[in-house]
Amino acid sequence: MADICSEFLGIRSPNPFWLASAPPTDKEYNVVRAFRAGWGGVVWKTLGEDPPIVNINGPRYGAIYGGDRRLLGFNNVELISDRPLDLNLREIKQVKRDWPDRAIVVSLMVPCEEAAWKRILPLVEDTGADGIELNFGCPHGMSERGMGSAVGQVPEYVEMVARWCKQHTRMPVIVKLTPNITDVRFPARAAKQGGADAVSLINTINSIMAIDLDRMAPSPHTDGKGTHGGFCGPAVKPIALNMVAEIARDPETQGLPISAIGGITTWRDAVEFMALGAGNVQVCTAAMAYGFRIVEDMVEGLKNWMDEKSYARLDDFVGLAVPNVTNWQYLNLNYVVKARIDQDACIKCGRCYVACEDTSHQAISNAKDGHRHFEVIDAECVGCNLCASVCPVENCITMEPMTGGTDPRTGQPVVKGYANWTTHPNNPNRVAAE
C-alpha cells in the first residue's frame, strides 16, 4: 500500500489532507472530532487580538446549487474567530498535546503594525503549534479594517509583514494569498522575498450570491441589508488550479512550497492540485457540506490511485503536471482532433446539433435517410469539443486524434514538423524554425 504520510515545511502528518482555517476549525471540539475522523492536520480558524470580533446573529451563508441540489458554490460573510484569544490558545495547546502526530497550524490576522505581530507571535509559539498562516485573503469585514485582502492585494505589505513574522518567530510562516487580484504571482513573489516558508491559496473570492427580488437586497440579508462575501466550493476549483499552476511554474517562485485550497471535494481534486505542485491540500466547504468523514474516502481513494499508478510516496507525483502547463502560443497547432458520436449511446436529444448549428461550426448533421440521426461532418469540425461538453450522456461524444487534417484557420493541410504557432508556416509573424 502506498505511503501517504506528508511532510510539509518539516510538519509531519499522517496524510496530506488538512482542514482549512474556517468554522470547522473554530474550537477544540471540532478539531478533535476531525482528528478522530482521520484528518491529517488543521489550520485553526483565524485568531486576532482582543477584544473579540462580533459576528452577525443571522444568516452568514449563501449557496448555488446544481439541478440535483448538489452544492456548487458557497458564500460566507463570517469574520475571524469571535472567541477570546486566550481560550483559543489554551485549546490549541491542549489539542497539540493530545494529538502530537497531527499538524496544527494557526491562522493569524492583526493590524498591519510590527508591534501587533510581535505581541501575538510568542503567544502562539507557546502553544506548541507547528506553524502559522498569515491570513492575507479574507475579502470581507476585515479588509475594510485594513487587514485580510487589504494587505494581500499590496505586494509590498505582504513582503513587509512576512519579514516581521520571520524575525519574531521560529515557526514556519505560510502566507495565505487572496485571489482578488489581477496577477497572483506578484504577492507570491513578495511572500518569498519576505522570507515566507510557503504560500497557501486560494482564499475566497469576492461575491454577491443573489438578489432577493422582493426585498431588492442581497441574499442572504441582515435586516434588509446585505454585503459582499467570500465565494468558495467546487465552482472555484478551476480558478484555484490556475493560480496554483501560475506560482508553481513562475521562475521567481519555483520551489516555493504550496498548500492548495479551493473546491477540493474528492481525492481526485486533491491529486490534481498536487500534480500542479502543491505539497498538501486544505479542505473547507466539502467538510461543511458533508461532514468530517469525507476524509475516509479521500485517504482510501488516494492510496488506491497511487497503488494503481505505482507511486510509492507523495513526492513521486507532486509537480508532474507543471511542465505541461504552457502559454497559448506554444500549443501544437499540428495536433488535430475530431468529434465522434457513439450511435449506440446516443439518445437523439439533439443538444449537440443545436449547440453546433446555432453557436459554433455547423459540423453536425441531424438526419439520415429521413430519420433523426446525428453525425459529425469532418470537413467542418474543428475539434472544439462544444458538442461533447453539452451532451448529457457521458462518453457518448469523444474527441479522437487524427493523423492528418486541416488548419481550421486557413483550410490548409496540416504541416508536420512545426511545434507551435510561433513557427507555423501559416503565421505571418513566424520566426524561422531552428
Q: Report, as residue numbers or ranges, the catalytic residues.
A: 138
- How far apart (Å, rounded) are the C-alpha atoms in residues 331 and 419? 7
- CB contact at 8 A, 166 and 196: yes
- How far apart (Å, rounded) are the C-alpha atoms in residues 53 and 83? 8
- How far apart (Å, rounded) are the C-alpha atoms in residues 215 and 202? 33
DSSP code for 122: H
> What percentage of the chain's residues is helix, strand, coil (to nearest 5)?
35, 20, 45
- How far apart (Å, rounded) are the C-alpha atoms in residues 148 and 228? 14
- How far apart (Å, rounded) are the C-alpha atoms in residues 193 and 188? 9
- CB-CB neighbours of 29 under 10 Å: 10
- CB contact at 8 A, 151 and 158: yes
Half-sphere exposure of 140 (CA within 13 A, CB side): 20
Amino acid at residue number 162: A
The per-residue b/e assignment along 294-323, b for 16 or more CB within 10 angstroms, e otherwise, is bbeebbeebbebbeeeebeebeeebbebee
For the chain, how many residues are written? Answer: 434
- How far apart (Å, rounded) are the C-alpha atoms in residues 184 and 253? 11
Half-sphere exposure of 27 (CA within 13 A, CB side): 5
Q: What does the block give as the cell for 33?
A: 472530532
In order of 79, 88, 91, 115, 117, the CA distances from 48 in angstroms are 11, 10, 15, 13, 10
- CB contact at 8 A, 208 and 228: yes
